[in-house]
Structure 1
Amino acid sequence: MTPDFDPVALAVPFFVLAIVLEIILGRLGRAKANYEPRDTFTSLAMGLGSTTAGLLTGGAIFAASLWVYEHRLFEIPMTAIWAWVALFLLEDMTYYWFHRLAHERRFWWASHVNHHTSQHYNLSTALRQTWTGGVAGTWLLWLPLSLIGFPPAMVAIQKGISLVYQFWIHTEAIGRMPRWFEAVFNTPSHHRVHHARNPRYLDRNYAGVLIIWDRLFGTFQAELDEEPCRYGVVKNLGTFNLLRVAFHEWAAIGRDLLTARSPREAAGYLFGPPGWSLDGSRETSDQIRARWAATQPEALSREAAAATGPTPAARSESLV
C-alpha cells in the first residue's frame, strides 16, 4: 500500500502558482526571473513525463521496499518524533550520496542529466525531472532505510518532503539567506552553484535539504559575486526536443559501447565519470576544473584565505 499522504501531489498547486508569480514579478521587473517559453514548456513536459514514468515503476519499487521491510532489523514506530528526526537525517544523507553518484558515474548521470539541460534557472527548472530514474535503479540506495526498520510509507513521505523543499531553491529571485541559514541548509545560492557549468562550480553542492553534507564530504562551493553562474551542461544540447533531452546521454553511451574494444573500455564508458574516454580526447569535470585551476593561482589563493574567515556561509573552498 502506498502512503496516503503525498507531499509532492499536495504541493503541485503551489508549484504552479509560484511559477506564475515568478513570471509576473520578472515581467514587472520586481524579481530576477529569466523565462524562455520553449525552455519552460520543455521543463513542464519533462515533469509530466517523469510523473507518468513514476506511475509505471512506482508500484514495483514500493513492493521491493515492502519486501525489504519484512526483513527489518528493528521496529521503528511512525508515531515517534525521534524516528522522524532520525529518518530526516538519514534520508537527507542518502539523497546526498545518490545525487553525487548521479553526477560522478555516467550510467546514473544519463538519467539525471536532463535536469541540468536548461540554460535558464527558474522555478520551472525544478520540474525538469528524469524519465528513466526507475530504470537506472538509484532507488536501491533507499532500501537500507527500510531494512533498518523505517516503514516504506514513512520513507516515501520523507522523500516527498525533501523534493518539495528543493522546489523553491531553483530561483534567481532570491539572493542569499541569513548566514546561519546558509551555513546549515541548502539555499537558492548554493543550488545555483550546483546548476552552473563554470569550471569552478562543476559538480558541487549535492545537498537535498542540509548543506552540511557537502561541507562534511568536501564538495561545498560558495556562490561568488565576482563569478556569476552560467547554467546548463558543459556542452549544451541546443534543442528543445523532448526525446533528445530525455535520452541523449543514453544514446551517447550506446554509441560509445559500440566502439569499445575491450571490457575495460566498455566499463569505462558505462560506469566511468561523464566525459571519460580511453584516449583522453574528452574531459571529465575533474579535468576541466584542474585545467581551469592551473590558470587561476591568484584567485584560488584569495579563495583559500577567505575560507579561514569566521562565517562558514562566507567561505568558499579551494578547488586545488
Structure 2
Amino acid sequence: MSDYPDVILYAIPFFVIAMGLELYVVTKRGLKDYNTKDAITSIAMGLGNVGLGIFTKILVFASFFYIYDNFRLFTIPVTWWSFILLFFLDDLSYYWFHRISHECRLFWASHVVHHSSQYYNLSTALRQTWSGGFYTFIFWFWLPFLGFHPGLIVLQMSLSLIYQFWIHTEAIDKTPSWFEAVFNTPSHHRVHHGSNPLYLDKNHAGILIIWDKLFGTFQEELAEEKVVYGLVSNINTYNPIKIAFIEWVQLFKAAFTGRKSLKNRLLYFIKPPGWKHDGTGKLSADLRKEWLQDTMHSQSVEKKEVFIKKRPVNKSGL
C-alpha cells in the first residue's frame, strides 16, 4: 500500500497557496466572493473531514480488499491502460454517487454540507461532510469486484477530488470551448452550486462533464441567469456542528414524528429532498416547472407591452 500515497495530504499546501492567489484576484477585481466567517467554517469542515477520514479510509480499504480478495472477476494489472480505464470508470461512479446524493435524501443528508455556503470560492471546496464517507463509497464497490486493485481505486478517487478543488471559483469565467465541452469547469460547477430553479440538480460531474450530457443533467451557465449560491432553504449558521448534522436531525424528525405509515417513514429516506408524504412538498422539478411558467408569463407580458408601445395610432387618435 506504500506504493499508493495519500495525495490529498500532499495537495494541502497547494490548496492554501491557491486560496491566497484567488483572494488576491477577487479583491483586486472588487468581487465579494469571500466572507471571513464563512471561509473559516468551510476550512473547519474540511479539517473535520480529514480527521474523520482516517477512520473512513480504514473502512473503505477493508471493504474494497474484502471484495477484491474474495469476489473479483478478474485480476486487472496495475499498468498504464488499466489506469486510463479506471479513470473513466471512477468518474462514472462519481457521477452516479453525486447525482443520487441530490435525488435521495439519505445521501443528501451528508452532501447538503457541501452546498450550505452562500459564497463560492476555493474555501467552499473544503466544506465537506463529516458523515457521508462512512457509506457513500458503496458506489465504488463494483470496481474491486471487476478486479481493480483497491489502492489504485482510492488513488484515483483522491485525484478526482483534487481536480474538483480548482473549479470552485468565480475568478475564472470560461475556459476554451473544447475544454468546456469535455471537462468539468468553474462555469459548469457554478451551475451545480446554484439554488436557482433552473440550476437545481444539474452538472453532477467529477472531472468529465460528458456524463451529464449523456444522461440529461447538463445545464449551461447563462449570463442572463446569475447563479445564486446556497440552498433553496439556507442553513443560516456558521456553526460547523450544526451544519454537519442539521439535515440528519430534520430527516429523522420528518420520518419518525407524526402519524405516518411505515412505508411513508421509509420513503423519507429514499425520496428526494423536499418530498412529503401528504403531497405538499416540492421537488426541484416542481420548482423548475413553476419558474419556467413564471418566466414564460413574464416574457409574454413584456412582448405585449412592447407591441402596445409600437402599435401605430390611427387618424382618430385611438
- TM-score w.r.t. length of structure 1: 0.90
Once superposed, which parts of structure 1, at least 4 consecutive aligned residues long, lie more than 4 Å away? 298-301
Distance (whole Å) between structure 1 residues aligned to residue 31 and residue 177 of structure 2:
21
Matches within 5 A, 1:151-300: 151-257=149-255, 258-297=257-296
Larger radius of gyration: 2
% identical aligned pairs: 49
Corresponding residue of 1:120: 119
Structure 1 letter corresponding to 2:146: I
Contact between 1:214 and 1:220, CA under 8 Å: does it hold in 2? yes
Instruction: Check 1:206–1:3 CA distance in 2 against 1; reply closer, same or farther (3 A cut).
Output: farther
Contact between 2:25 and 2:171, CA under 8 Å: does it hold in 1? no
Structure 2 letter corresponding to 1:201: Y
Corresponding residue of 2:68: 69
Distance (whole Å) between structure 2 residues aligned to residue 17 and residue 90 of structure 1:
31
Distance (whole Å) between structure 1 residues aligned to residue 34 and residue 244 of structure 2:
20
Contact between 1:205 and 1:221, CA under 8 Å: does it hold in 2? yes
Contact between 1:33 and 1:172, CA under 8 Å: does it hold in 2? no
Corresponding residue of 1:5: 5
Corresponding residue of 2:24: 24
Which digits, 9 at most, give the CA deviation of each residue in 1:114-155, with x for residues without a partner? 1000000000000000000133x1101101101101000000
Structure 1 spans left out of the alignment, 5+ residues: 302-320
Contact between 1:33 and 1:171, CA under 8 Å: does it hold in 2? no
**Deviation at 1:264?**
1.8
Contact between 1:77 and 1:83, CA under 8 Å: does it hold in 2? yes
Contact between 1:293 and 1:300, CA under 8 Å: does it hold in 2? no
Corresponding residue of 2:57: 58
Contact between 1:39 and 1:118, CA under 8 Å: does it hold in 2? yes
**Deviation at 1:101?**
0.4
Instruction: Check 1:300–1:259 CA distance in 2 against 1; reply closer, same or farther (3 A cut).
Output: farther
Instruction: Check 1:67–1:223 CA distance in 2 against 1; reply closer, same or farther (3 A cut).
Output: same
Instruction: Check 1:160–1:199 CA distance in 2 against 1; reply closer, same or farther (3 A cut).
Output: same
Structure 1 letter corresponding to 2:117: S
Distance (whole Å) between structure 2 residues aligned to residue 32 and residue 2 of structure 1:
43
- TM-score w.r.t. length of structure 2: 0.90
Contact between 1:260 and 1:266, CA under 8 Å: does it hold in 2? no
Which digits, 9 at most, give the CA deviation of each residue in 1:5-41, with x for residues without a partner? 2221111100011011111222223x74610000000
Instruction: Check 1:299–1:181 CA distance in 2 against 1; reply closer, same or farther (3 A cut).
Output: farther
SS of the residue corresponding to residue 141 of structure 2 reads: helix
**Deviation at 1:262?**
0.5
Contact between 2:4 and 2:155, CA under 8 Å: does it hold in 1? no
**Deviation at 1:103?**
0.4
Instruction: Check 1:217–1:28 CA distance in 2 against 1; reply closer, same or farther (3 A cut).
Output: same
Contact between 1:92 and 1:208, CA under 8 Å: does it hold in 2? yes
Contact between 2:4 and 2:152, CA under 8 Å: does it hold in 1? no
Alignment: residue pair count: 298
Contact between 1:33 and 1:122, CA under 8 Å: does it hold in 2? no
Contact between 1:121 and 1:231, CA under 8 Å: does it hold in 2? yes
Structure 2 letter corresponding to 1:209: I
Distance (whole Å) between structure 1 residues aligned to residue 93 and residue 188 of structure 2:
19
Corresponding residue of 2:315: none
**Deviation at 1:254?**
1.3
Which digits, 9 at most, give the CA deviation of each residue in 1:132-179, with x for residues without a partner? 0133x1101101101101000000110011000000000000011111
**Deviation at 1:265?**
1.2
Structure 2 letter corresponding to 1:182: E
SS of the residue corresponding to residue 296 of structure 1 reads: helix
Instruction: Check 1:33–1:2 CA distance in 2 against 1; reply closer, same or farther (3 A cut).
Output: farther
